[in-house]
């Protein structure tokens, strides 16, 4: 019987997909994003083991709360694609029970993407950067696997919300945002774009884990500047609407 490692579960999530969500944070992630606020999810070990049935039964208890809002389950992390067989079993069971499914991912898994997406209603896709150099600077890893996942979403006609963390001196600036806008305009089925301002809320976790914080001294992103960037993203293309 397949078991998965789960870091934590949030029963009333409001920002990880439409409606009220049960957000399940998978344990394990290969990326080492400089701004990551959950370094405690990196390790493959840790967390609590569940079978797919145990996890979905736990989620189903909240169905009366999330169903009327158009909500459901969001499988996040860590990186849920790092446990593909377990993820597939969870998604299948959710679909059998009428639970809407969402996968929150950076696209850095082990394949089996077509099978995963067959049972996924929505993908929250975290675009780390739009160039190979920028991606490696942010994540310390190569971009290729993320692009493989993105191609799978195109093949499967999967609905997507795009997310992008805006970090001062790294993924900010009007020229970067304009290039990001062009990049996502070539991705089909994008229903929403979220610019997430870099914050300092996870810094204490690095201290607890005795890990050097990569962005020490970088200030939180100015939310007024984020609003300017959002206006750029929401502006119309020349002669067309975005």
What tokens appear for 24 in the block?
């399940």
pLDDT tops 70 at residue 116: yes
List of long-range contacts for 220-229, beta carbons under 8 Å, 24+ apart: 221/166, 221/167, 221/168, 221/172, 221/197, 222/168, 222/197, 223/197, 225/172, 226/166, 226/195, 226/197, 228/174, 229/166, 229/172, 229/174, 229/177, 229/195
Average pLDDT over residues 33-40: 93
Segment 223-234, tens digit of pLDDT: 999 999 999 999
Residues 39 and 23 sit within 8 Å (Cβ to Cβ): no
The DSSP symbol for 237 reads: B
Is residue 67 one of the residues assigned to a domain? yes
Cβ-based neighbours of 233, under 8 Å, separated by 6 or more: 177, 180, 181, 193, 195, 242
Average pLDDT over residues 165-193: 95
Tell me the C-alpha to C-alpha distance, in Å, between residue 30 and each of 35, 78, 129, 210. Answer: 14, 8, 16, 19
Is residue 240 one of the residues assigned to a domain? no
- Going by C-alpha positions, the residue among 116, 53, 59 that lies closest to residue 83 is 116
Cβ-based neighbours of 3, under 8 Å, separated by 6 or more: 49, 50, 51, 86
Residues 21 and 94 sit within 8 Å (Cβ to Cβ): no
Is residue 158 one of the residues assigned to a domain? yes
Percent pLDDT > 70 in the chain is: 98
Band of pLDDT at residue 202, cut at 50, 70 and 90: confident
Q: How many domains does the chain have?
A: 1
Q: What is the mean pLDDT of the chain?
A: 94
Question: Greater confidence, 32 or 12?
Answer: 32
Structural domain harbouring 34 = 3-234
Is residue 61 one of the residues assigned to a domain? yes
Is residue 242 one of the residues assigned to a domain? no
For residues 198 and 44, give the distance between their C-alpha atoms in angstroms, rounded to a whole number. 25
SS3 102: strand
Is residue 241 one of the residues assigned to a domain? no
pLDDT at 15: 87
Average pLDDT over residues 49-54: 98
pLDDT at 241: 41
The strands making up 160-166's β-sheet, listed across from edge to edge, are 48-51, 3-13, 21-26, 72-76, 101-105, 122-126, 160-166, 190-197
Band of pLDDT at residue 237, cut at 50, 70 and 90: low
Please list the residues that pair with 165 across neighbouring strands.
Answer: 196
pTM assigned to the model:
0.94
Please list the residues that pair with 51 across neighbouring strands.
Answer: 3
Segment 123-150, tens digit of pLDDT: 999 999 999 999 999 999 999 999 999 9
- Going by C-alpha positions, the residue among 122, 56, 46 that lies closest to residue 87 is 56
**Domain containing residue 194: CATH number:** 3.20.20.70
For residues 12 and 82, give the distance between their C-alpha atoms in angstroms, rounded to a whole number. 24
């Amino acid at each position: 019987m397949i078991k998965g490692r789960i870091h934590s579960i949030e029963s009333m999530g409001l920002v990880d997909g439409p409606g009220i969500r049960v957000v399940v944070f998978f344990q394990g992630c290969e990326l080492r994003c400089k701004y990551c606020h959950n370094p405690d999810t990196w390790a493959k070990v840790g967390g609590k083991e569940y079978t797919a049935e145990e996890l979905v039964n736990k989620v189903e208890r909240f169905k009366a709360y999330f169903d009327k809002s158009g909500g459901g389950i969001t499988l996040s992390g860590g990186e849920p694609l790092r446990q593909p067989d377990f993820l597939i079993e969870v998604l299948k069971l959710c679909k059998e029970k009428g639970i809407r499914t969402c996968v929150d991912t950076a696209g850095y898994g082990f394949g089996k993407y077509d099978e995963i997406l067959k049972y996924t209603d929505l993908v929250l896709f975290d675009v780390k950067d739009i160039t190979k150099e920028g991606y490696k600077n942010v994540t310390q890893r190569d971009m290729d696997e993320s692009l493989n996942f993105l191609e799978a979403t195109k093949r499967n006609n999967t609905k997507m919300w795009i997310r992008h963390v805006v970090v001062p001196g790294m993924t900010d600036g009007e020229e970067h945002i304009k290039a990001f806008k062009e990049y996502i305009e070539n991705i089909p089925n994008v229903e929403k774009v979220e610019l997430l301002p870099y914050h300092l809320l996870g810094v204490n976790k690095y201290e607890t884990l005795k890990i050097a914080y990569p962005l020490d001294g970088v200030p939180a992103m100015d939310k007024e500047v984020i609003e300017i960037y959002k206006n750029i993203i929401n502006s119309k293309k020349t002669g067309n609407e975005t």
